[in-house]
Structure formats: C-alpha cells, structure tokens
Structure 1
C-alpha cells in the first residue's frame, strides 16, 4: 500500500466506546475508515462479492429486494464452519482492498482505521500505530446490555467470543481507559490527536 499519511488503527471490545472515540476524532478533521461499514458496502446489492455469494449459496441467500439475507447466511455459517471459511475467503480480500483504497484517498494529516477485529483480521498490518479503547468487562456488560437491550448472558457470550482484554492490551501501542465520562474520553483522544499530528509531521 502506497500510504501518504500516518495510519492509526482504533479498536476495542464491544461496548468500549470505539464509536464515541472515532466520532470525536472525526470532529477534529481526521479521516475515519470504518471496517464495519466497508464490510457492509462490499456486499451491497449488485456488487461482485454479493454475486459470488449468491452463486455459492443459491437464491436463499438473497432477499426479495436483492440485498443479502444476513440472518439466513449467519445461520448457515454457524451450522457449517467450512462455509464460514469460504465466505471469509471471498469477503476479506474485498474488504481489505476497499480499506486500502479509502486510506490512500485520505487527505487529513493522519487517518484512522476503526475495526473491532483489528488484530484478529490482520488489519493492524495496514497501520503504523494501534489505539485501544479499553474498558473492564463489567463496564462492557453494563453498557452493552443497556444499549442493545440484550441480557447480560448474551453480552457475556459476545465478550468471550472476542479477543481477551489482556491480549488486546499487550498488542496495542496506545491505550485509553474509558471507564468514566464521555468528556474524559474526548480529552484523552485530544491528547493522542496532538501526539499523532506530531508523529505524522515527523514521518514526512
């Protein structure tokens, strides 16, 4: 990838505050590339990736309006791990290519790649530094159960399926502990913003 600017990978577990952090960086004029949004875009109606998925799984994977039947596909790959591997072999390269393209178009002093699976997907290889929005599991449980109206058991299962907190901490270059207020999160983001601006300037 022929990158022109510093790229920061922003990640964190469910309920950590990744979106609140990236939204704030966006107000500071920083280009944000969201891997979740890209993942939805690459399977939009009429896309080559969606056509490949339909050819593999058949018409049941497409809804009447021509869009991806996510619920049906989720159930299918849950029942058959081999189908999950096939799906990832098609979607992951498409997602990565789109992310690279968007990062190369960034015009801000540095750009941020937001990805909940930054380390698991290998997307951290596209970045110069990684920033973890970190919270204790008890806070994750409380926030996510309240936000998504899920039971604590459901949220706990999601947390356990993600990379362990300690491993994320060990792999991240920078860490913001987000267990207090939004204002304090934004203040810490601002401090890292100044640091990344300096790093980007030094990199030129």
Structure 2
C-alpha cells in the first residue's frame, strides 16, 4: 500500500506552497481543495445534493456553485456547515483514495485542510502540520482574497485551535518566514518520508514472504 502523509494547517498557513515544493520533488499530491472545486464546478458531482439541501439559488448562472453565497451561509450557521461537510467530505475522501491508490511515486501527500476536524487521520501514516501564528494567517488571507477580517476570523474560529493541531502533529513546518527558507526543510522532510516509505515496503514484503 502507498505510504501516505497528510499535509494540513489552518487557512493562510501556506499549505499550497508547501505542496508545490513536494510535488517538485516527485511526490504524488492529492489536494482536497482542488477536488472540492472539481466536485462543485459546472456539472460537478456534488451540485445536485447541495442544491437539494441549500436551494437552487446556490448554483450560479453558469451551473457551478456560487461559493461566496454558500460560504456566507455555512460560516454563520454551524448546522449548515455540517450539512455541507456531510455532502462533500465522503466524495473528497473517495476521490483522494482513488488518486493515491494509482500512484507510482514512493509516497503520496494528501493535502487535507480539515484533517482533524473531519477525523481523517486514519487515512494516513503520518501528519505534517504547516504552522503560522493566527495574526499571520489573517494577514495572508486578507492580502490574497480581499475578505473582510471578521469573515476570516469566523473561518479561523471554525477550525480546530492552533494548539490542538500542533499537539496532534507528527511533524511541524514553521512557515512564518520567507518562502525561500522552505526548500531545505522540505527536502529534509522528503528524505525522512522516503525512508519511512521504504521501511513500510520492506515490512510488507517480509510479511508476504
């Protein structure tokens, strides 16, 4: 079985940048957010259920999800957020498992922002948390998205706390500094994960033999 590493972290922590570094090293990357966008694009597999639960007004004139409208709904209503997660997360999980089952790379990186919130740790062999202080999260999200600070704070509050995330991590990558500092630290983690993957493969062969 493919060795799987989960990459997670709060909004604005830099998960996408870190994932790009791993991909450049030849790691197979499966991204939950990218899959969610596919599922909610025009004719996406999740749209019928979303429209049935939240109303046809959540689908835009092009036949895709009106993300801004739905985001405004779910982040002000915990029950609505749980309903949305109940629709999306099983579909995302199934797609990620399909993708990682086909990889030929030594290991797979599963980018799952809500890893702990959705209890998906059992999918993976190891957890890497990308960490930044909350103030950095808010500043980065404001810079890239233009969302109001209050809305960003609601999103941050909807995720588990930084302390809980760090306590559950196997590895932590501090990403508060310059992007140029990431490459050598990611290369070190990559070597570690290659070793873990080799050990797992050797153990599996020994059991079969």
Superposition TM-score, scaled by structure 2 size: 0.85
The yes-or-no answer on 1:28 pairing with 2:63 is no
CA offset digits 1:129-172 (Å, max 9, x no partner): 00011112233233333333445555444333321111111000
- Call closer, same or farther: CA 1:107–1:155 in 2, change over 3 Å: same
Larger deviation: 91-100 or 68-77? 68-77
The answer for unaligned runs of 5 or more in structure 2 is 202-209
Provide Cα deviations, 1:14-58, integer angstroms capped at 9, x if missing partner. 222211111100100111111111112123322443123334444
Equivalent residue pairs, number: 201
Shift of 1:200: 0.5
Distance 1:83 1:142 in 2: 27
Point out 4+ residue stretches in structure 1 off by more than 6 angstroms.
Answer: none
Q: 1:87 to 1:136 in 2, by over 3 A?
A: closer
Distance across 1 between alignment mates of 2:186 and 2:157:
27
> Which residue of structure 2 aligns with residue 113 of structure 1?
110
2:161 pairs, out of 164, 172, 190, with 164
TM-score (norm 1): 0.86
- In structure 2, the CA distance between the partners of 1:181 and 1:71, relative to structure 1 (3 Å rule), is closer
| Residue 63 of structure 2 is aligned to residue 66 of structure 1 | yes
For residue 133 of structure 1, give the secondary structure of its aligned residue in structure 2. Answer: strand
Aligned to 2:205: none
Partner residue in 1 for 2:4: 7
CA contact (8 A) 2:12 2:138 kept: yes
In structure 2, distance between residues paired with 1:30 and 1:59: 39
Indicate yes or no: 2:34 matched with 1:37: yes
